[in-house]
Structure 1
Amino acid sequence: MREAAWVGLPDFHAPSFSLRAVVLVIPVILVLIAENAGHVKAVAAMTGRNLDRAMGRAFLGDGLATVLAGSGGGSGTTTYAENIGVMAATRVYSTAAYWVAGLTAVLLGLSPKFGALILTVPAGVLGGATTALYGLIAILGARIWIENRVNFHDPVNLMTAAVAVIIGAANYTLTAGDLSFNGIALGTGAALVIYHGMRLIARLRGTTADQPRPSPEPEL
């Protein structure tokens, strides 16, 4: 930590293109769209506001940020569930607060000394914080299901939720060369494939259960 510099700049270089990398990343775009949509829905559930009209701006901002990062040799960007977990824990939803947080993060990112300081935090502490943040996101997702009365009598919905939750919670990781996909991306992709695949099969078999089943009458 003592050897780390106080100020450091990114290693800028001209962008390069690889057809193999492009082919690998194209399917991820659909996953990121679904992931961002889920994050917007989670924020809407926390704040009690309908943010569907802002979803397009979220996609646009994510795309522009990825273009900017890639032009400087950085990785692709996306919305982060950790930040939403912080919002759920603190109940601070002010956009002004997150403007300040974002600018502060950029400035601290230019300090290798601060990065070295973060690395001194015990893994157990970081793991505990991560567990709480991701746990809040999972519960927010369950809350969205409940409020929208998702029919879990339908095996398509049940299987979709089951597989996606386990992949995300266990943080399954798929590595393809220099690219690595974590549990959130893989869980989102699995949910899309399972839901639409099983729904198609159900329609072909005539077993679609789109309507929620009525609650059983209480016994007298």
Structure 2
Amino acid sequence: MDMNLSAKKKLILGIQHVLAMFGATVLVPALTGLSTSITLFCAGLGTLLFHLVTKRKVPVFLGSSFAFMGGIIAVIGDSRLGDPDFIDKLSAVKGALIVAGLIYVLFSILIKLVGYEKVNKLLPPIVTGPVIIVIGLRLSSTAINSAFYYNGAFSLKAVFVTVVVLAVVIAISVFARGIYNLMPILFAIIAGYLVCIPMGFLDFTPVQQAHFFSFMDKDIIAQILALPTFKADAILAIAPIALVTLIEHVGDITTNSAVVGKNFMIEPGIHRTILGDGLATALAGFLGGPANTTYGENTGVLAVTKVYDPSVIRVAAVFAMLLGILGKFGGLISSIPGPVSGGISIVLYGMIASVGVRILINNRLNFGNSRNLMIASIIVVLGIGCDSIPVTSTVTISGLALAAVVGMILAAVLPEGHDSVLPREE
């Protein structure tokens, strides 16, 4: 949808993108011991840097990467803020993440030199379609767990909240007109929040515990000012993960391109998106945040709202930075109950998977052809069935990366038949 959006509409749409990315972004620092405030600030700042590098053309939001968690935890261990060794370990993580970001930069230069065409040959539609389906479906269990469970147990109340949220999203997306059609996620979250009040699902502890201005906290300042150290063991634990996330990055940009209807692999170029992601990761590492990565949740929001204006993402990036600085606002968003975010996630992740199906249909791939059937089947089962494969004690290959690599190999090795693509109807 191409439109001249007013500042009010951009503000509303930007808030929706923040709500979509918030839960996953703050989960990484919660599990690794890093600062939530710094993480949110780095997500916003990294997104703005990404948009600068990609000539402000790609509507992508960068949030904290789950792929690097194992490596970060391996370096930090059980050490937490206040422990005597925490800052030293954080400095080692900073150095390793900067190296990981530089790996992205090197690959960006390499792709620029060899040309996009050679990269594109590795990613035909019979690979990208199923990989995008996997990206959406791999997230589905997370959505269901949030939607149907509360405090670790199945809850009919949680199911009811989820149904209300889904009903609002569907009703507004299908029947609403004008500006209201752009706000299904925001309205659904408000409705879900209100329904949660009498059910006792609301917990305002995050709001009460948060500082008004996070960056006035001396502990956060200490983490930002800690200088990176480049220790071999930390670099070996964290930096090689970038080789895996590079593959996931290509899949995410392919998905975003399919949703928007523009080939961002060509313009501004996959080399620029990789460069932007790498610089954002290095910057986040320098400031004390986790690695950044392109977020499928926000691509799902694009698919729901059909508003692809990159400036909306930049509005969301500024909001994320404000949430990092203004602790009370961040606490308010983190108080959104799981069944509400879970209901939203069911829609977002399903939309991503549907984009993969659309790629297969638009390219008229014939699934009566054994080659197509084999490649797609193996990608889907490996991608969904395999969580991860440990390469070393700290480096793992995700099922998504494994599925993408196997799919590329099969597509390159297996000969294309004359019937691999359906003929156009006269």
TM-score range, shorter chain: 0.7 to 0.9
Distance between the aligned counterparts of 1:165 and 1:150, measured in 2? Answer: 22
Shift in Å, 1:74: 1.3
- Tell me whether 1:34 sits opposite 2:247 in the alignment: yes
Q: Structure 1 residues 165 and 144 mapped into 2: Cα distance closer, same or farther (>3 Å)?
A: farther
The aligned residue for residue 311 of structure 2 is 96
TM-score normalised to structure 1 length: 0.77
Paired residue for 1:210, among 397, 411, 416? 416
Alignment map for 1:152-191 (pairs within 5 Å): 152=367, 153-154=370-371, 155-167=374-386, 172=387, 186-191=398-403
Distance between the aligned counterparts of 1:145 and 1:126, measured in 2? Answer: 29
Deviations 1:56-113 (A, max 9, x none): 2111110110110111121111110011011111111111211111111111122221
- Tell me whether 1:20 sits opposite 2:233 in the alignment: yes
Q: Structure 1 residues 29 and 214 mapped into 2: Cα distance closer, same or farther (>3 Å)?
A: closer
Distance between the aligned counterparts of 1:70 and 1:95, measured in 2? Answer: 25
Query: What is the letter of the counterpart of residue 36 of structure 1?
Result: H
The aligned residue for residue 69 of structure 1 is 284
Shift in Å, 1:163: 1.8
Shift in Å, 1:21: 3.6
Alignment coverage as a number of residue pairs = 203
Q: Structure 1 residues 46 and 156 mapped into 2: Cα distance closer, same or farther (>3 Å)?
A: closer
The aligned residue for residue 192 of structure 1 is 404
Query: What is the letter of the counterpart of residue 345 of structure 2?
Result: T
Distance between the aligned counterparts of 1:178 and 1:73, measured in 2? Answer: 23
Q: Structure 1 residues 193 and 3 mapped into 2: Cα distance closer, same or farther (>3 Å)?
A: closer
Query: What is the letter of the counterpart of residue 69 of structure 1?
Result: A
Shift in Å, 1:176: 9.7
Distance between the aligned counterparts of 1:62 and 1:92, measured in 2? Answer: 23
Question: Partner of 1:16: helix, strand, or coil?
Answer: coil
Shift in Å, 1:178: 11
Paired residue for 1:117, among 303, 314, 332? 332
Shift in Å, 1:199: 6.1
Distance between the aligned counterparts of 2:293 and 2:209, measured in 1? Answer: 32
Q: Is the 8 A contact 2:212 2:328 kept in 1?
A: yes
Shift in Å, 1:18: 3.7
Greater mean deviation of Cα atoms: 144-153 or 110-119: 144-153
| Percent identity for Structure 1 against Structure 2 | 33
* More helix per residue: 2
Q: Is the 8 A contact 2:281 2:292 kept in 1?
A: yes
TM-score normalised to structure 2 length: 0.42
Q: Structure 1 residues 198 and 105 mapped into 2: Cα distance closer, same or farther (>3 Å)?
A: same
Shift in Å, 1:124: 1.1
Q: Structure 1 residues 174 and 72 mapped into 2: Cα distance closer, same or farther (>3 Å)?
A: farther
Distance between the aligned counterparts of 1:151 and 1:15, measured in 2? Answer: 52
Distance between the aligned counterparts of 2:328 and 2:321, measured in 1? Answer: 14
Paired residue for 1:45, among 254, 258, 272? 258
Distance between the aligned counterparts of 1:15 and 1:150, measured in 2? Answer: 49
Distance between the aligned counterparts of 1:142 and 1:215, measured in 2? Answer: 15
Shift in Å, 1:193: 3.8
Question: Partner of 1:2: helix, strand, or coil?
Answer: helix
Structure 1, unmatched stretches of 5+, are none
Distance between the aligned counterparts of 1:49 and 1:109, measured in 2? Answer: 32
Distance between the aligned counterparts of 2:255 and 2:411, measured in 1? Answer: 24
Greater mean deviation of Cα atoms: 33-42 or 18-27: 18-27
Distance between the aligned counterparts of 1:40 and 1:93, measured in 2? Answer: 14
Query: What is the letter of the counterpart of residue 259 of structure 2?
Result: M
Tell which has more relative contact order, 1 or 2 (C-alpha 8 A, sep 6+). 2
